[in-house]
Chains A and B, each alone.
Chain A
Amino acid sequence: MPSVPRVDRLKPIYTAAKALNFGWRFSDFLKIPAYNGISRYTNQLHRITVRFCKQSESSVGVRNFIENQLIEIGKKNPSVVIYAQPVRNSNPSIRAEYGNGRTLQINAKNMTESEVSKDFHLLFSRSGEPVVKLESRQSALIPSIQGQWTPITWLPTAMNTEELPSKQFSDHKSTSTSATEYIIQNPPK
């Protein structure tokens, strides 16, 4: 496969797609910008722009969404600036700008009102970090509090000065009594 996969032919698209899962991809640890949520949560979305056309058929869903739902959402989220921007003969899109300076844009062409609404809410709940493959499900400030466990962590210190192997430390330990021990403890009459 070439280092830069060609996307102008159908076959290279499929071949490139096949390689995507196994080849090099962006991956990162779980992150949230601006220490959000450590003391309090603040919405990371700052402004959101809806671009649509007043007449074309592909903007019907967006127009209905603006008419029916946008005002309510704006009232519920006073910290977010919402722009509705009519642009003649344009593909409708939703563009969101976040506190970390990133912008996300969704092409809303031919979407229904409910689809537009779903994407709009998704943009509201995003933190602005790019979606990448996660290295881990969890990220911690301090990896361990009791320290990393090693096989010798809880071994008795008496073993340090003992000449090994010794009978004391070679015994098999069990909570259940063995048959031999039982007979020794309860000798047959």
Chain B
Amino acid sequence: MLSRRCASLLLSTTSTSLRRLASTTVPTSSSEAQVIDTDRVQKEVFKSISEQVDEQQRNRLFAVVYVNGRQWKVSDGDLINLEGNLPLNVGDEIKLEKVLMVGGSNFSLFGRPLLDASSVSVDAVVVEKKTTNPELKYVHLNHHQTKFLNWKSDEATVIRIKSVTAKPVEQ
């Protein structure tokens, strides 16, 4: 499922067969790009990602999620400050479903543009709703007896990322 949606798989752990394959079929000139895409390589990549993602290993994952009009790189326990008074109450648990990328210490998995929401889950809690610190808009026109002082303050919603988890890749 994950495999259908992922565009490219980068694996920094150099497995022996990957290296062997790369060395046996050396491109004739360095300008030629080469796509390594055989079933065997795919299986190996999927297998090693599944090991990394496994919950028993307790590897720390991060994800790039799209919330509030921007992309956030989040991991477990992160706080993010969203602009505006969002239709959420304090203490609400939400699941961030627009996940653009998931990564661990040894792999990165990109969606095009999104990863499947059922395979990656980013859970979050709303921990605070507050006002932002006021910014001042000050205008003073000399000799015109004109002064404007606007205190501009907006509302903000603070979210805590509870967990970033992913399901193992199906083969």
The prevalent SS among residues of A at the interface is loop
Given contacts A131-B131, A140-B78, A17 and B160 within 8 Å (CB-CB)? no
Residues of A within 8 A of B168 (CB): none
Determine whether A145 belongs to the interface, using a CB cutoff of 8 Å to chain B: yes
Q: Is the CB of B60 within 8 A of A145?
A: yes
Minimum distance in angstroms from A48 CB to a CB of chain B: 14
Q: Is the CB of B30 within 8 A of A124?
A: no
Minimum distance in angstroms from B67 CB to a CB of chain A: 11
- Partner of A32 from the list B30, B127, B133, B147 (CB cut-off 8 Å) is B127
Listed in ascending order, the chain A residues whose CB lies under 8 Å from chain B are 14, 17-18, 20-21, 25-26, 30-32, 36-38, 41, 43, 122, 124-127, 129, 131-134, 137-142, 145-146, 168, 171-175, 178, 181
Q: Is the CB of A146 within 8 A of B105?
A: yes
The prevalent SS among residues of B at the interface is strand
Q: Is the CB of A181 within 8 A of B31?
A: yes
- 9 A–B pairs (Cβ distance < 8 Å), ordered by A: A17-B136, A17-B138, A18-B138, A25-B133, A37-B162, A41-B93, A43-B90, A126-B130, A132-B133
Minimum distance in angstroms from A123 CB to a CB of chain B: 10
Q: Is the CB of B129 within 8 A of A38?
A: no
Residues of A within 8 A of B30 (CB): 168, 171, 173
Instruction: Give Cα A41 to B126, complex, Å.
Output: 8
Residues of B within 8 A of A32 (CB): 79, 127-128, 158, 160
Most chain B beta carbons < 10 A, residue from A20, A137, A175: A137
Instruction: Give Cα A36 to B162, complex, Å.
Output: 10
